[in-house]
Amino acid sequence: MSDVFVSYKAEDRARVEPLVQRLEGEGLSVWWDARVSGGEAWRETIAENLDLARCVIVIWSKRSTGPEGRFVRDEASRAQRRNVYLPVTIDKVEPPLGFGETQALPLTSWKGDAADPRYRAISRCV
């Protein structure tokens, strides 16, 4: 079981990786789809890790809130049902309908600084 599961749109991977690295640097175990190995049944692997994580950070971006973000919304729904949903925005967007009742933490234009108050807020919530 991971401490944190990170849900995001794959095209945002380079923007999400610094967050994963910072959280791991704090000693947290983080699972994200970059961990899926060749030959794995990726849907089952994602579902298993999503359902076992203690916290699910859902990264809302222009891509994940758009029509191609259905998988992210599905993961966010599972996290909400388990009360482990932590929304984070990396673009100036609102979470999709049904996900806006939980305060999203902004991380727009974050440069990876662990001392940044926006990152510290996420770290505290996790």
Q: What is the dihedral sign for C-alpha 112, 118, 34, 94? A: negative
What is the tens place of the pLDDT at every residue in 54-110?
999 999 999 999 999 999 999 999 999 999 999 999 999 999 999 999 999 999 999
CB 21 within 8 A of CB 13: no
- The residue type found at 51 is D
Q: How long, in residues, is the chain?
A: 126
pLDDT in tens, 9-47: 999 999 999 999 999 999 999 999 888 888 878 899 999
Give the β-pairing of 55-60 and 85-89. Answer: parallel
Position 115 pLDDT exceeds 80: yes
Taking residue 83's Cβ as centre, other Cβ atoms within 10 Å add up to 8
Could you please report the per-residue DSSP string of 77-114?
A: HHHHHTT-EEEEESSS-PPPTTSTTSPPEE-TT--S-T
